[in-house]
Amino acid sequence: MSKYKQLIGEARKPGNQKTRKQESEAEAEPDVNLSIKVAAARRRHWAAEAKRRGITLTAAITEALSERFGEPK
């Protein structure tokens, strides 16, 4: 089995997946889009790293922005 096939297989296991609905159920406000421009190579790298770690890019970006700027009151 190739290294990538094994990684994808692990990421597809039911216990390893999070849906946007599960993440946003606790929030009272609906989710909206946030669009930024980044180099394609950076996006590919970040997407691969997020998948390897079993998180979404949305979760990683939200965490980074919350740490830097805090949460609304």
Segment 27-36, tens digit of pLDDT: 588 989 999 9
Torsion of CA 9, 36, 72, 16, to 10 degrees: 0
pLDDT over 60 at 47, yes or no: yes
> Taking the model in full, what pTM does it have?
0.57
Per-residue pLDDT tens digits for 48-70: 999 999 999 999 999 999 999 99
Dihedral sign (CA 21, 23, 28, 30): negative
Angle at 67 between CA 46 and CA 39, to 5 degrees: 25
pLDDT at res. 21:
60
Of residues 46 and 23, the one with the higher pLDDT is 46
Cβ neighbours of residue 47 closer than 8 Å, sequence gap 6 or more: 57
